[in-house]
Amino acid sequence: MKDISTSANAPLDGVYRIATVSNLTGIPVQTIRVWESRHAVVQPTRSATNVRLYRRADIERLSLIKAAVDAGHAIGTVASLTDRQIKARFKFNPVRAAQTTQRGCRVVVCGTTLGARLATAWGDRTDVRLRGVLPSLTDAGGTSTGVIDGPVDAVIIEASVLAPSLPAAVRRLQETTRARVVIVVYGFGNRRSLARLDDANVIALAAPADPAQLARICLLGLSIAPSAPDTFSELLVHPVAPRRYDDAVLDQLAQVPSRVQCECPNHVADLLVRLNAFERYSLECESSNGADESAHAMLYRASGHCRAILEEALTRLMAHEGTPAPEA
């Protein structure tokens, strides 16, 4: 591998850690490492502390390779092909990427200074559209304020300092907007803060960030369909789905008489109420207890995924009974 000399705290312009690459491409970290060692799919650089660093060209190639493998082709048959050969042979043209380009990637920015820069830089672009600018999460006390006009594909957050409470605030914003891509552009931060953002599936870029690079990351992230996780560890790196039913709806469902020969719908609604409460509890614990923050982050994501599965089960059960979801 190539070597690149960087100090421990120096910003790395245009390069990404393996966890971020995994989030962007949908390829598990271990799979990326195997593809490098066995098939030389990409050759990342190394930092002075021996950390893998990937460039945008590496991310694009990994995305192409994954598209071919997902189509049923063995990694050994495509690893030696050039990017052009892969595109020609497998006609790599994700439907999601085409749809995103057609309507424009819908972006919300938290931070007025960065929002003004992107509004000017993206003024003539049609592939990315600025849907709104909200106050910075740090200025707003860790909450998003303002009105967001319509659906959001990506959120870009301006943060002068990576505060300990930022990851939890970012997740709340992601749940509100349902954005698939979340980027934090930061001024100062330590390795621990960056690791926490990686754990939260957030892409961290040192300021100043190039507007064209931010647009490219948003579009690339949306063009990659999430892959199904194979293990518990892989499951936890996938974003937690937003809540489908609020507490008021679940309370009504818990009281609705069931048409099946049991009270399963009522029990599932009760379980969801408790899971929602535990999910919120885990998030608050992660914010307040620094010593155990990684464990609480794991519990937060695990309970969120369990909640999403039970929500889907409840939806199918109601469809089976012909019972529409009550209004909140």
Joined tokens for residue 89: 């042979």
**Cβ 90 vs Cβ 67: under 8 Å:** yes
Is 50 exceeded by the pLDDT of residue 242?
Answer: yes
Give the span between the Cα atoms of 325 and 328, in whole angstroms: 9
Question: Smallest Cα–Cα separation from 57: which of 68, 65, 67?
Answer: 65
Q: Look at residue 272 in the predicted model and tell me its pLDDT.
A: 84
Give the span between the Cα atoms of 47 and 251, in whole angstroms: 53
| pLDDT band at residue 118 using 50, 70 and 90 as cut-offs | very high
**Cβ 153 vs Cβ 132: under 8 Å:** no
Question: Could you give phi then psi for residue 232, rounded to 5 degrees?
Answer: -60, -40
DSSP 292: G
Question: Smallest Cα–Cα separation from 3: which of 44, 55, 62?
Answer: 44
Q: Which one-letter amino acid corresponds to residue 179?
A: A
Q: Considering the entire predicted model, what is its pTM?
A: 0.48
Q: Look at residue 224 in the predicted model and tell me its pLDDT.
A: 55
| Alpha helices in the chain, H assignment, sequence order | 18-25, 29-39, 56-70, 75-78, 83-90, 95-103, 112-121, 166-177, 191-199, 211-223, 232-236, 247-255, 264-288, 293-321
Residues 6+ apart with CB under 8 A from 323: 256, 259, 265
179-229 pLDDT, tens per residue? 878 889 999 888 888 877 877 778 888 888 888 888 888 877 666 545 444
